[in-house]
A and B are shown apart, each in its own frame.
Chain A
Amino acid sequence: MGRTLAEKVWDDHVVRRADGEPDLLFIDLHLLHEVTSPQAFDGLRLAGRSVRRLDLTIATEDHNTPTLDIDKPIADPISRTQLETLRKNCAEFGVRLHPLGDVEQGVVHVVGPQLGLTQPGTTVVCGDSHTSTHGAFGALAFGIGTSQVEHVLATQTLPLAPFKTMAITVEGELPEDVTAKDLILAIIAKIGTGGGQGYVIEYRGSAIEKLSMEARMTICNMSIEAGARAGMIAPDETTFAYLKGRPHAPQGAEWDAAVAYWKTLHTDEDAVFDHEVRIDASQLAPFVTWGTNPGQGAPLSASVPDPGSFSDASERLAAEKALEYMGLIAGQPLREVKVDTVFVGSCTNGRIEDLRSAASVLEGRTVAEGLRMLVVPGSVRVALQAVEEGLDKVFTAAGAEWRHAGCSMCLGMNPDQLAPGERSASTSNRNFEGRQGKGGRTHLVSPQVAAATAILGHLASPADLADARTPVEA
């Protein structure tokens, strides 16, 4: 019987297979950041171990880094200690690090792909659940805990329990103004936050094949929000074109050998998935969340649901609690929900195409009075590209704040946070209670919806903006 893409990549990495034991898998790329690594390095030190494969390991700083005044000492002493700990650990063990201020610094899941390190058919891990992002290249990529970080540092392998396979097939054309973000939010709402539990999801079908690499990364990034072990998309010409010429992409004869291998990385015709979901792209619309988990979402044109409409008791209770926390009333049109803050950035939507998308909506328009809009590029390279294209000027002319690269308000470990009761439209990945700051309320949206919302002051899509563009002065 044929194999799925995920099974092929898995099989190619089995170091040891024995009855009654989990397979031991080789890890091709280990990404590190400051939050989930300190205790792992401590463990190595205590056991007198070293990093087995420094040439497959790379670190950057992203979660704690400020997005303003990056040349000054970090104000929060605990954040500063954590960053200094990473620097000390990388120096002591010899790990390549791109610290704050370095041209290759940025959100770890933006940095890996842009360096060309994330490649088809590789296994990629990081102590961060959004490692699923890298599956967009046909890599088997997943988030791990700190004990596993230590395990990979010491052995370059992981013992892993078997997974189930799920195909999510998306056919048809995405309507205008409907982005990869809307698609993945709709998928999570459909299958639920636990729907992917135990599965590696493969996204496939004509609508997926048409997506750019960056859009594919947005999709795979949020696989974890459906509870999946990983998300993957088969590599194709779009993937190869993205990788060619990147600093760590293979070159010359190595490139040809790599592409020949990459072309074998697709699900065989006769392979069978454990579960299949089909989605008609043409039926999708801009999608936003109303609740406190990423599965609590609805089309922007809908209203806040009535918790009583959920047949499942725990879903009903969850919806009641979510509306209470979010300060929303059942039946309220989502378009009437006013927001205080708009955040564009994160490993979900902090890449150049996302910034272009937001800027195209904002150009010649202004951010609503009293509304704060933060634009945080996913990496220094993305920021430089945006500046070269003049996007930073579009943002600042509209009244948005153009910030330095990092995770920023996606999780508020740095000073970029919501105040209690504040409401955001955010291009990030999690609307959990307090995620963006204690008491903060988050609506997950696409970059286009974020920009339109910033202009109108309430949840909106570009289609709502017919008259809001002011003439641009020459």
Chain B
Amino acid sequence: MEAFVTHTGRAVPLRRSNVDTDQIIPAHWLKKVTRNGFEDGLFEAWRKDPSFVLNQPEYAGATVLVAGPDFGTGSSREHAVWALQNYGFKTVLSSRFADIFRGNSLKNGLLTVVLPQDVIDRLWKLVEDDPKAEITVDLVAREVRAEGPSLSLTEPFELDDNARWRLLEGLDDISLTLRHEDDIAAYEAKRPSHKPSTARPSTIEV
């Protein structure tokens, strides 16, 4: 996984709530069998509208997405995270993320940061007033910083120590888990025999 330490970049204000993963990456893109090449599918339907924020030239090259509440609801598709990363986003800020999306993002090094909605409102205003304004997301200090004519903001955010450590180091979860293979084997050894098995039964009748 790509490590995340600190990132500074221009930001896109996405003033919508309940942005589901079908909007982030529509289902027909899910037929691809790779983890890359999803950038053109990101917000595909909305990008057909010339007034959509990602189509505004002043936001080209932005790397921070400032989103509305309940971002990433719906389908578990990790393709949503890959699409955001393939497009160039390094971090997403929102007052609330759907659980599965959040889990997926942190496993790929896309830092999802939960901030109070009033902070999101102020960041929206900042980058709408001045699209060149930069936002810093500092995982070491666990804070978001932004400077602008009308705003000087330093806002702490929460992320548990373990998730933070994995992100800072860019650690692969599977390798970490396999350090505890003895524990897995011990659990397996005492697992009750009535637990289901997918081994084919001799006859299948329903």
Contacts and interface: CB of A to CB of B under 8 A. Distances in A.
Interface in B82-99: 96, 98-99
Interface in B40-87: 45, 68-70, 73-79, 81
A36 B33 contact: no
A308 interface: no
A81 B107 contact: no
Contact of B33 (A82, A145, A157, A413): A82
Given A76-B31, A146-B78, 8 more contacts: A81-B33, A82-B31, A127-B78, A151-B177, A247-B203, A248-B196, A295-B18, A314-B17
12 contacts: A82-B32, A82-B33, A104-B204, A122-B196, A128-B75, A142-B100, A147-B78, A155-B177, A194-B70, A247-B204, A413-B31, A430-B22
Contact of B198 (A39, A117, A144): A117
Contacts of A434: 22-23, 26, 45
A464 to B, nearest CB: 31
B152 interface: no
A399 B81 CA distance: 42
A76 B68 CA distance: 36
A57 interface: yes
B16 to A, nearest CB: 7
B23 A432 contact: yes
Interface in B143-192: 160-162, 173-174, 176-178, 180-181, 183-184, 186-188, 191-192
Interface of B: 15-18, 20, 22-23, 26-28, 30-35, 45, 68-70, 73-79, 81, 96, 98-100, 103-104, 107-108, 160-162, 173-174, 176-178, 180-181, 183-184, 186-188, 191-201, 203-206
Contact of B174 (A122, A151, A193, A315): A151
Contact of A122 (B30, B70, B99, B195): B195
B201 A255 contact: no
B35 A39 contact: yes
Interface residues of A, number: 94
Contact of B108 (A16, A147, A194, A321): A147
Contacts of B198: 29, 54-58, 96, 117, 248
A155 B197 contact: no
B118 to A, nearest CB: 12
Interface of A: 15-16, 20-22, 24, 26, 28-29, 35-36, 38-39, 42, 47, 49, 52, 54-58, 63-64, 76, 78-79, 81-82, 85, 96, 103-104, 114-119, 122, 127-129, 131, 142-148, 150-151, 154-157, 159, 161, 193-194, 197-198, 224-225, 227, 229, 246-250, 254-255, 257-258, 261, 293, 295, 314-315, 317-318, 321, 381, 411-413, 430, 432-435, 438
B100 A247 contact: no
Contact of B192 (A257, A315, A381): A257
Contact of B31 (A81, A150, A247, A249): A81
A227 B70 contact: yes
Contacts of A257: 192-194
B30 A413 contact: yes
A290 to B, nearest CB: 14
- Minimum-distance CB pairs A-B, first 6: A145-B104, A145-B78, A38-B33, A143-B76, A258-B194, A147-B107
A314 B19 CA distance: 12
B104 A432 contact: no
Contact of A159 (B177, B195, B199): B177
Contact of A261 (B77, B160, B194, B199): B194
Contacts of B195: 28, 119, 122
Nearest to B48: A438
Contacts of A293: 18, 20, 73
B197 to A, nearest CB: 5
Nearest to A144: B76
Given A15-B187, A26-B191, A81-B31, A247 B205 contact: yes
A321 B16 contact: yes
B174 A129 contact: no
B107 A148 contact: yes
A344 to B, nearest CB: 20
A438 B41 CA distance: 13
B99 A432 contact: no
A412 B104 CA distance: 23
Given A29-B198, A56-B197, A315-B17, A432 B33 contact: no
Contacts of B104: 145-148
A78 B204 CA distance: 33
A113 to B, nearest CB: 11
